[in-house]
């Protein structure tokens, strides 16, 4: 039986003073992994980040609500770092949901104009307090001290090398997180300006990273040059209920510092960004978030996505932008559209609810079937099921009632209840299902355990036929860019044909949306593969050195070497 540690409230710890023995071996980390009642039989290990510079506002309270909107990206820990302009950074982070970690008292303690926040979800790494974020580090001597808090979504594929290098320099760590490696590289860099330190460090990082960081006087956000994980830029206008009007646009070219690439594009965009260059009292404040749904909840407006390779600085003098890494092959995670992101978020100009509906329409076009009723696996299949029903003309109904309060539980069901398994989450409605030929829509299958149980529950409830339609291609390869997808061997589609998977699941037919169908649905068309990552479907990893990362990881467990492998 997996026993999860009970969240314990702890005081903020000073960082940068960790001890090597504090680094947890991976085997120990995995004692925490897995739960038979985990929310989904799907990919995991997402994180959500948020940052805001809003003099005159409660940065931590805005962060709290933004993290609330990003809770789906990480449910194991939550944290906020905050500071008054020029003051001390205070961080609170803890295991648990945002609503469990923060109370009114915590938000008052975290008062300040600047804040960054993080939610974390990691089942393969330790969910210990040490790996929660934001990471806070303080480096240097009194005269040249750099204090930094940092929150990260993604995964470095060269974390081991960087970690070893830092250890040789005498840098100590208090976590097993690759995020702390990034924080340590920046905090220990000799450059006077934090922007220059980041610009020097970024080319050394390989892998996926969307990062928010803060010093005592600014918030910084940057994204890997491939744009693997999302990062959006928003604007909060206190004069206009968070909806700045055109009249506020007053940016000037000198707010855009551009050292390489895309100079014209960014300068042109800056001219259109409201309040660019405006300072304290302008009423226009900027924020960054993993997803645009975080802006909606705080009354901010989504301006655009942070560009791959771009560093944006949100300070009292407004917004500054700088491309710090040259153009690279774009590789936005196509699974964000299908699965990870909230349907009310917008990414690359796409409203995800709409894109997922189109996936259902294309699913029908690719694999029509004689049927009486369309049902979704709630909630993951809802949007695609609606699209499929629309395209097919087949009626849609709820085949399951979902218990929305069963998520990750500390209490395991025990042997007697275990046989009822998934009924704790989904209860089928025999009155809707019995005697019907069903098209059942979901957004992905990884190991197949959940889908197998769903098919069986539907048959037990009297379904005549069960035709599974999945709005993603078969998942056959692990992700090395921040998502836990089980091992290849655990993936039901690995080494099996679709017909063999259907037989394993016990359904009458099975169709996975084609990759071409995915790209059509998200408006990326035939050229979509050149600007996205689809490696978990295709096995074609877009970043050089990904295979090398596999080798490094393969060395860890047998040796029991404590390495920084927890993904953010």
Residues 65 and 298: their CA atoms lie apart, in Å, by 7
**DSSP one-letter string for 422-451:** GGGTEEE-HHHHTT-EEEEEES--SSSHHH
Assess 47 for contact with ligand SF4 (CB under 6 A): no
Question: How near is the Cβ of 229 to ligand SF4 at its closest, in Å?
Answer: 8
| 159-168 helix and 178-187 helix, angle to the nearest 10 degrees | 50
The region of 121-129, 302-310, 487-495, 534-542 touching ligand SF4 under the rule CB under 6 A is: 534-542
Question: How near is the Cβ of 447 to ligand SF4 at its closest, in Å?
Answer: 15
Closest CA relative to residue 466, chosen from 503, 506, 438, 433: 438
Residues 119 and 68: their CA atoms lie apart, in Å, by 9
Assess 337 for contact with ligand SF4 (CB under 6 A): no
Residue with tokens 């551009």: 258
Whose Cβ is closer to ligand SF4: residue 441's or residue 485's?
Answer: 485
Whose Cβ is closer to ligand SF4: residue 319's or residue 347's?
Answer: 347
The region of 299-307, 362-370, 445-453, 533-541 touching ligand SF4 under the rule CB under 6 A is: 533-541
Written as six digits, the tokens of 171 are 């840098």
Residues 66 and 259: their CA atoms lie apart, in Å, by 32
Asked if 339 contacts 42 with a C-beta cutoff of 8 angstroms, the reply is yes
The correct pick among 26, 479, 491, 522 for binding ligand SF4 (CB under 6 A) is 479
The region of 26-34, 49-57, 89-97, 327-335 touching ligand SF4 under the rule CB under 6 A is: 327-335
The region of 342-350, 377-385, 527-535, 553-561 touching ligand SF4 under the rule CB under 6 A is: 527-535
The region of 163-171, 251-259, 447-455, 479-487 touching ligand SF4 under the rule CB under 6 A is: 479-487
Assess 335 for contact with ligand SF4 (CB under 6 A): yes
Assess 306 for contact with ligand SF4 (CB under 6 A): no
Whose Cβ is closer to ligand SF4: residue 120's or residue 459's?
Answer: 120
DSSP 8-state symbol, 396: B
Catalytic residue chosen out of the listed positions 47, 53, 507, 536: 47
Assess 536 for contact with ligand SF4 (CB under 6 A): yes
- For the beta sheet containing 509-512, the strands, ordered from the edge strand earlier in sequence to the opposite edge, are 373-376, 437-442, 465-470, 509-512
Residues 357 and 293: their CA atoms lie apart, in Å, by 18
Residues 217 and 87: their CA atoms lie apart, in Å, by 8
Whose Cβ is closer to ligand SF4: residue 194's or residue 228's?
Answer: 228
Question: How near is the Cβ of 385 to ligand SF4 at its closest, in Å?
Answer: 22
The correct pick among 325, 433, 483, 513 for binding ligand SF4 (CB under 6 A) is 483
Query: Distances in Å between the alpha carbon of 223 and those of 243, 322, 448, 511?
Result: 26, 11, 33, 35
Question: How near is the Cβ of 483 to ligand SF4 at its closest, in Å?
Answer: 4
Assess 535 for contact with ligand SF4 (CB under 6 A): yes
387-426 footprint of ligand SF4 as x/- string (CB under 6 A): ----------------------------------------
Whose Cβ is closer to ligand SF4: residue 334's or residue 521's?
Answer: 334
Whose Cβ is closer to ligand SF4: residue 286's or residue 340's?
Answer: 340
Query: Distances in Å between the alpha carbon of 455 and those of 13, 93, 388, 431?
Result: 48, 40, 19, 16
Whose Cβ is closer to ligand SF4: residue 112's or residue 528's?
Answer: 528
Question: How near is the Cβ of 285 to ligand SF4 at its closest, in Å?
Answer: 31
Question: How near is the Cβ of 265 to ligand SF4 at its closest, in Å?
Answer: 25
Assess 533 for contact with ligand SF4 (CB under 6 A): yes
The region of 302-310, 438-446, 497-505, 529-537 touching ligand SF4 under the rule CB under 6 A is: 529-537
Assess 107 for contact with ligand SF4 (CB under 6 A): no
Whose Cβ is closer to ligand SF4: residue 320's or residue 476's?
Answer: 476
Q: Is 533 one of the annotated active-site residues of the chain? A: no
Residues 437 and 17: their CA atoms lie apart, in Å, by 62
Whose Cβ is closer to ligand SF4: residue 94's or residue 534's?
Answer: 534
Residues 65 and 59: their CA atoms lie apart, in Å, by 10
> In 3-state terms, what secondary structure has residue 237?
strand
How many CA atoms are closer than 13 Å to the CA of 394, on its beta-carbon side?
25
The region of 194-202, 331-339, 436-444, 495-503 touching ligand SF4 under the rule CB under 6 A is: 331-339
Give CB contacts under 8 A, 24+ apart, made by 426-431: 426/377, 426/378, 426/400, 426/401, 426/402, 426/454, 426/457, 427/400, 427/401, 427/402, 427/403, 428/399, 428/400, 428/457, 428/458, 428/460, 428/461, 429/398, 429/399, 429/400, 429/401, 429/461, 430/461, 430/462
The correct pick among 228, 373, 385, 394 for binding ligand SF4 (CB under 6 A) is 228
Assess 334 for contact with ligand SF4 (CB under 6 A): yes
Please name the residues in contact with 165: beta carbons below 8 A apart, sequence gap of 6 or more. none
Please name the residues in contact with 336: beta carbons below 8 A apart, sequence gap of 6 or more. 229, 230, 347
Asked if 110 contacts 92 with a C-beta cutoff of 8 angstroms, the reply is yes
Whose Cβ is closer to ligand SF4: residue 237's or residue 484's?
Answer: 484
| 382-392 helix and 352-366 helix, angle to the nearest 10 degrees | 50
Residue 267 φ then ψ, to 5°: -60, -40
Helix (H) or strand (E) holding 98: helix 98-101
181-220 footprint of ligand SF4 as x/- string (CB under 6 A): ----------------------------------------
Question: How near is the Cβ of 190 to ligand SF4 at its closest, in Å?
Answer: 33
Give me the active site residues, please.
47
Site of interaction with ligand SF4 (CB under 6 A) = 228, 333-335, 479, 481, 483, 533-536
């Amino acid at each position: 039986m997996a026993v999860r540690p009970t969240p314990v409230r702890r005081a903020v710890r000073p960082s940068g003073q960790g001890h090597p023995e504090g680094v947890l071996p991976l085997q120990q980390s995995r004692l925490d992994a897995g739960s038979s009642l985990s929310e989904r039989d799907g990919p995991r290990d997402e994180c959500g980040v948020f940052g805001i510079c809003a003099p005159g506002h409660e940065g931590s309270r805005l962060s709290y609500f933004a993290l609330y909107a990003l809770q789906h990206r990480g449910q194991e820990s939550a944290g906020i770092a905050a500071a008054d302009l020029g003051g001390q950074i205070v961080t609170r982070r803890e295991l648990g949901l945002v609503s469990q970690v923060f109370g009114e008292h915590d938000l008052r303690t975290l008062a300040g104009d600047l804040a960054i926040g993080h939610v974390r979800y990691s089942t393969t790494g330790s969910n210990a307090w040490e790996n929660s974020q934001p990471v806070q580090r303080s480096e240097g001597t009194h005269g040249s001290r750099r204090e930094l808090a940092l929150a990260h979504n993604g995964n470095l594929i060269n974390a081991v090398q960087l970690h070893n290098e830092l250890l040789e320099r005498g840098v100590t760590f208090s976590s097993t997180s690759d995020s702390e490696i990034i924080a340590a590289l920046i905090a220990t860099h000799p450059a006077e300006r934090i922007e220059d330190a980041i610009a020097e460090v970024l080319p050394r990082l390989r892998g996926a990273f969307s990062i928010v960081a803060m010093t005592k006087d600014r918030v910084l956000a940057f994204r890997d040059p491939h744009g693997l994980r999302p990062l959006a830029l928003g604007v909060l206008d206190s004069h206009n209920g968070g909806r700045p009007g055109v009249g506020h646009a007053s940016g000037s070219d000198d707010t855009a510092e551009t050292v390489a690439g895309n100079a014209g594009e960014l300068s042109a965009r800056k001219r259109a960004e409201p309040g660019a260059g405006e300072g304290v009292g302008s009423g226009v404040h900027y924020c960054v978030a993993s997803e645009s749904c975080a802006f909606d909840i705080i009354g901010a407006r989504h301006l655009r996505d942070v560009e791959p390779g771009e560093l944006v600085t949100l300070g009292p003098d407004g917004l500054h932008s700088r491309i710090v890494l040259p153009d690279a092959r774009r590789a936005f995670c196509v699974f964000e559209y299908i699965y990870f992101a909230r349907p009310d978020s917008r990414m690359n100009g796409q409203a995800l609810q709409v894109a997922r509906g189109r996936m259902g329409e294309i699913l029908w076009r690719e694999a029509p079937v004689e049927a009486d009723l369309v049902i979704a696996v709630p909630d993951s299949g809802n949007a695609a099921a609606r699209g499929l029903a629309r395209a097919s003309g087949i009626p849609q109904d709820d085949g399951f009632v979902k218990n929305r309060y069963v998520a990750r539980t500390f209490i395991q069901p025990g042997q007697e209840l275990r046989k009822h398994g998934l009924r704790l989450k989904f209860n089928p409605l025999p009155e809707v299902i019995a005697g019907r030929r069903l098209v059942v829509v979901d957004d992905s299958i990884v190991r197949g355990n959940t889908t197998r149980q769903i098919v069986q529950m539907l048959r037990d409830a009297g379904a005549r036929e069960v035709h599974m339609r999945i709005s993603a291609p078969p998942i056959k390869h692990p992700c090395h860019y921040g998502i836990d997808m089980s091992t290849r061997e655990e993936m039901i589609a690995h080494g099996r044909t679709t017909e063999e998977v259907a037989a394993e699941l016990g359904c009458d037919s099975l169709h996975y949306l084609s990759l071409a169908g995915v790209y059509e649905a998200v408006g990326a068309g035939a050229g979509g593969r050149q600007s996205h990552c689809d490696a978990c479907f295709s096995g074609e990893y877009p970043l050089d050195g990904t295979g090398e990362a596999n080798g490094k990881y393969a060395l860890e467990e047998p040796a029991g070497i404590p390495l920084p492998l927890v993904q953010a």
